[in-house]
Amino acid sequence: MAKIIYSEKFEKYTYGANHPFRLDRGRLFLNSAARLSLIKDDDILGTGTGSEEDIRLFHTEEYTEILKRANSGEIEAEFLQYGIGLPDNPVFRGIFDVALLHTSMAKDAFLNFENTDRIFVPVGGLHHAMRNRAAGFCYINDAGILIELLLRAGKRVFYIDIDAHHGDGIQSGFYDNPNILKMSFHESGKTLFPFGGFEDETGSGDGKYYNLNIPLNCYADDEIFLFLFKNIFVPIIEEFNPDVTVAQIGVDMMSTDPLTHLRLTNNSYTEAVRIIRDKSKRLIAFGGGGYNPDNISKGYTLAWAVLNDVETDDYYSATLGGTFMGSQELSVSGLKDMNLFVSGPEKEIATKEAERILYYYKENIFPFYGIK
C-alpha cells in the first residue's frame, strides 16, 4: 500500500508569521488522517539526510552556495538576484536546513519507489524553483531533484501537475528533454502567477511536444476541469506509457483558496487523483500548494485515502447552485465539499475557453501521440 515520507523537523521552521506558505501543512494532514483512522505508524517512512550534492542534481553550484549562505537568516544584497529575500521568498533562519529536508524526502522517494507502488510527500512539490533562482515560495525544486534521479536511473517519467499555479520550474528545467513528459493543469497565466504556461509552450528540440500546458480560465469549475483532464491526461499518459508518474497535487484550485480564482471543489480534485492513481504503474505524489488550511487537511486526507483505495464515509455532500460567492463555506462537516456549479457569463466564457484548448490539442498535440 501507499507510504508517506515526512519529517517533523519541518514544524520548527516558518517563512514568517504573515507568509501564506505553511511548513506545518504536513501536520494538518497527518492529524486529519489520524482522526479518521486512515493512517498507521508504519505508513510513515523515516527520512535520511539530504546533501549539497543532491541539491546540485537540479540546481547550479552557484545557487546552492547562495542558499547555504542564507541559512543564518541574515540578508545580503547579492541574494536578491537569486530571488532570495523578496517578499515571496523571504530569508529566514534555517532556510538551507529546510532545503536539505525537502531534498532528503525527494531522495527517499526515489530510494523507495520500486518497493512501494505509491508514495505521498505532503510537504513538497516546490515546482517554481528554477535551476539558479528561487521563485513563488520555492527555494529548491524537490520534484526536479527526484526527476533527475529517476532519469539517471533510466526511467521514463510522466510529470502531472494539478496545482493552480503553472509548474514553470519543471517546465524550464526539462523543456528540451523527451524522456520526461510534463503536463500542467493550472489557472491561466493571464490572471495568475507565474503568468505563463500557455498551450503553445510545447517544448523545444528533442523535447518538442513533451511539455504540455492546459490553462483554465477564471471561474472554471469541477465540470470544466474534469472535461479537460479526462480528455487530455488520460489518452496521453496511456500513449506515453511511463515507468513512473510524479504528481504535484496542490489544493489551491479550490474555490476557497485565497490566492487563486478558480471554482473547483475537492470532489473533482479527488476524482483527478483517482485517475492519476489508476493510470500510473508507480506513483510519487507531492502535496504542492494550497493556502487555506481546511483545504490542505481535507484535500490531502482525501488524496491519501485514494492512494490507499479506501473510501471514507466521513463526508458532507450537497448542491450549491449559481455563481459561487467567495464568502460562503463549501463544507459544513466531514471531508468532502458541497458540489458547486458556476453559472452565467463566467461559466460560458470558461467553457468556451476549455473547448478551444481541447480543439488545440486535437489539432496540434494528439497527432504526435497517434491519438484520434
309: CATH? 3.40.800.20
Q: Is 287 inside a domain boundary?
A: yes
pLDDT at 337 over 90: yes
pLDDT per residue as tens digits for the range 269-317: 999 999 999 999 999 999 999 999 999 999 999 999 999 999 866 544 4
Q: How much is the pLDDT for 1?
A: 79
Dihedral sign (CA 171, 136, 83, 64): negative
pLDDT at 327 over 70: no
Q: Measured between alpha carbons, how far is residue 148 from residues 99, 103, 151, 154, 337 in Å? A: 16, 12, 5, 10, 36
Angle CA 58–63–66, to nearest 5: 140
pLDDT at 210 over 80: yes
**Cα–Cα nearest to 316, from 300, 297, 332:** 332
Judge if the upstream peptide bond of residue 293 is cis by omega within 30 degrees of 0: no
Q: How much is the pLDDT for 332?
A: 45
Q: Where are the beta strands (DSSP E) in 272-317?
A: 283-286
Domain count, the chain: 1
Q: Is 95 inside a domain boundary?
A: no
pLDDT at 50 over 50: yes
pLDDT at 325 over 90: no
Catalytic option among 128, 165, 166, 261: 128
If you compute the radius of gyration of the chain from its CA atoms, what whole number of angstroms results?
Answer: 19
Q: Is 345 inside a domain boundary?
A: yes
Q: Is 178 inside a domain boundary?
A: yes
pLDDT at 82 over 60: yes
Q: Is 301 inside a domain boundary?
A: yes
| Type of residue found at 287 | G
pLDDT per residue as tens digits for the range 211-263: 999 999 999 999 999 999 999 999 999 999 999 999 999 999 999 999 999 99
Q: Where are the beta strands (DSSP E) in the chain?
A: 3-5, 44-45, 118-121, 157-161, 180-187, 211-216, 244-248, 283-286, 319-320, 339-340
Tracing cell 501564506 back to the chain, one arrives at: 20
Domain hosting 231: range is 15-34+115-127+150-369
Q: Is 192 inside a domain boundary?
A: yes
Q: Is 325 inside a domain boundary?
A: yes
Angle CA 263–136–17, to nearest 5: 90
Q: Is 339 inside a domain boundary?
A: yes
Spatial strand order of the sheet with 211-216 comes to 44-45, 3-5, 118-121, 283-286, 244-248, 157-161, 180-187, 211-216
Indicate the pTM of the whole model: 0.94
101 backbone φψ class: left, alpha, beta (φ>0; ψ -120 to 50):
alpha
Q: How much is the pLDDT for 307?
A: 97
Is 166 catalytic? The answer is no
**Average pLDDT over every residue of 322-348:** 70
The average confidence (pLDDT) of the chain is: 94
The set of cell numbers assigned to 301 is: 486526507
The set of cell numbers assigned to 134 is: 528561487
pLDDT at 318 over 70: no
Angle CA 203–180–277, to nearest 5: 125
CB 198 within 8 A of CB 187: no
Tracing cell 515526512 back to the chain, one arrives at: 6
Q: How much is the pLDDT for 328?
A: 41
pLDDT per residue as tens digits for the range 139-181: 999 999 999 999 999 999 999 999 999 999 999 999 999 999 9
The set of cell numbers assigned to 318 is: 450537497
pLDDT per residue as tens digits for the range 97-121: 999 999 999 999 999 999 999 999 9
